[in-house]
Chain A
Amino acid sequence: KQEVTQIPAALSVPEGENLVLNCSFTDSAIYNLQWFRQDPGKGLTSLLLIQSSQREQTSGRLNASLDKSSGRSTLYIAASQPGDSATYLCAAHFSGTYKYIFGTGTRLKVLA
Chain B
Amino acid sequence: GAVVSQHPSWVICKSGTSVKIECRSLDFQATTMFWYRQFPKKSLMLMATSNEGSKATYEQGVEKDKFLINHASLTLSTLTVTSAHPEDSSFYICSVSARGGETQYFGPGTRLLVL
Contact = CB atoms under 8 A, between A and B. Distances in A.
Interface of A is mostly: strand
B10 to A, nearest CB: 8
A25 interface: no
Contacts of B41: 104
Contacts of B103: 31-32, 49, 51, 93
B87 interface: no
B67 interface: no
A100 B46 contact: yes
Contact of B109 (A4, A43, A99, A101): A43
A2 interface: no
Interface string A16-53: 00000000000000011010100001111110010100
A51 B103 CA distance: 9
Contact of A45 (B9, B46, B95, B108): B108
Contacts of A44: 93, 106-109
Given A99-B34, A99-B49, A104-B42, A46 B105 contact: yes
A4 B36 CA distance: 16
A102 interface: yes
Interface string B90-101: 010101000000
B43 interface: yes
Contacts of A32: 102-103
A91 B102 CA distance: 13
A9 B2 CA distance: 30
A47 to B, nearest CB: 11
B111 interface: yes
Interface of A: 4, 31-32, 34, 36, 41-46, 49, 51, 89, 91, 93, 98-105
Interface pairs A-B: 8 shortest CB-CB: A43-B108, A43-B109, A31-B102, A102-B43, A99-B46, A102-B44, A104-B43, A44-B109
